[in-house]
Amino acid sequence: MVLGGDEPTGSLVRPYAVTRGRTRPQLEIALEALVETTARGRAGQFLGGREQKVIVDLCGGRLQSLAEIAARMEVPLGVARVLVADMAADGLLAVHEPTGFSDDPGADESVGTELLERVLSGLRRL
Amino acid sequence: MNSPADTSRVTSAKIVIAGGFGVGKTTLVGSVSEITPLTTEAIMTSASEGVDDNNLVPDKATTTVAMDFGRITIDQDLILYLFGTPGQTRFWFMWDELVRGAIGAIVLVDTRRLADCFSVIDFFEHRKLPYLVAVNCFDGKQMHDLQDIRDALQVSQDVPLMYTDARNRESTKQVLIKLVEYVLSMRRTRTVGVG
C-alpha cells in the first residue's frame, strides 16, 4: 500500500539487488511489526542465501521489528520488507502485526484501550 | 484460534516523535530507549517537487529518508517503539507509514524556532492523530510562558503542552506517560459521548 500508486521499478534502485529487483513485498508489514524465527527457520536447511541466514539469526533470540532488521542489516526498509515477507511466506519467520490505534471504524476499541493501559503502566514502571 | 498463549498475543505499538531539524528528537528517543537509537532508511521513489538533483534517474526522484528509533520492552509480549520522524514534511510518503496505527505523537519544540513545527502540527491535526507539545528546554531554562507558546502555535487548550528536557530519562518518561494518559482520556470521553 505504501509503495502503491507509484510502482517503482527495481532496475532504477540498486539496493533492491538482493531482492532480485523486486520492490513489492508479498505481504505488507508495518515498521514496528515484530518478527520471530520459526522452528522451520531455525532448522537451517530451508534457507536461501546469506540474507536469510542473517535474518534468521537476528530474530532467533529476542523479537525484532522490521525497522530493527533493516537498521541492523543496513538495508533500506523496503528491502527488508521484501526479504521478511518472502521468508514469512515460506514459514521461516512469524510476523506479529502491531495493534493499531488509528480510528478505523472497524477497529475493536476495547483491545486498544486495554493495550494502552498496559503501555501506561509499563512506562510508569520504567 | 487455540494457539499457545505465550506467543499468540505478541504485539507492538509505536509513538511518533516529531519536530524540526536539530530540536533533539534523537536525544529524546535515546534517553529512554533500551537500545542505542538505530537509524533506518527508506528509499522514497516518487515526485519530490523538483527539489532534488536527480538528473541521472529519468522521470523519478529517489530520495533516502532516514529516521531514528528506539525500543522499550513493556512486557515480554509487548514492545513499544519510538520513531523520530524526518523533519521535512515534504516526505509525506514516509509520514503516512510512520503515523499509521500510532498511539500518538510528541511534537518536540524549540522556542527559538517555533515555526519549524507548524506543518507537523497541521499534519497531525489533519490525520486526527493525538499529539502533545513538549517544549525542549535547553540548559534547563524555561524562557517562555507556556500559554504564550500555546498561543503562538495556535493549539487548542485540550492539547497537553509541557516543558521537557530531552536528555533526561525521567523527563522523557513523564512526557510519554502524559501522551498515553491523554489518548486514554480521549477514548473514554468518546466512548461515553457515543454511548
**Domains, chain B, ordered by start:** 10-194 (3.40.50.300)
> Could you write out the three-class secondary structure of chain A?
CCCCCCCCCHHHCHHHHHHCCCCCCCCCCCCCCEEEECHHHHHCCCCCCHHHHHHHHHCCCCCEEHHHHHHHHCCCHHHHHHHHHHHHHCCCEEEECCCCCCCCCCCCHHHHHHHHHHHHHHHHHC
Compute the count of residue pairs across chains A and B with CB atoms less than 8 Å apart: 144
**pTM, entire model:** 0.85
Residue of B nearest to A16 (CA): B43
Structure confidence by residue, pLDDT tens digits, A78-108: 999 999 999 999 999 999 999 877 655 455 6
Q: Which chain B residue is nearest to residue A14, measuring alpha carbons?
A: B43
The per-residue pLDDT for B139 is 66
Residue B8 has what pLDDT? 59
The pLDDT assigned to B153 comes to 93
- How do strand B62-75 and strand B11-19 relate by DSSP bridges? unpaired
Residue at grid coordinates 487548550: B157
B96 to chain A: closest CA residue = A2
Shortest CA gap B87–chain A (Å): 18
d(CA A111, CA A98) in angstroms, rounded, equals 12
Enumerate residue ranges in chain A where pLDDT < 50. 1-13, 105
CATH code matching the domain that covers A10-100, chosen among 3.40.50, 3.80.10, 1.10.150, 1.10.10: 1.10.10
Strand residue runs (E) in B23-136: 38-45, 62-75, 78-84, 104-109, 131-136
Q: Do A33 and B12 touch (CB under 8 A)?
A: yes
**pLDDT tens, per residue, chain B with 195 residues:** 333 445 558 999 999 999 888 899 999 999 999 999 999 987 765 544 444 444 444 455 666 778 899 999 999 999 999 999 876 666 666 778 888 899 999 999 998 888 888 888 998 999 899 999 999 987 666 778 899 999 999 999 999 999 999 999 999 999 999 999 999 999 888 776 654
> Is B100 at the interface with chain A, CB within 8 A?
yes
pLDDT at B60: 55
Contacts of B181 in chain A (CB under 8 A): 120
Q: What are the structural domain ranges in chain A?
A: 10-100
What is the ipTM for the molecules in this complex? 0.85
What's residue A6's pLDDT? 46
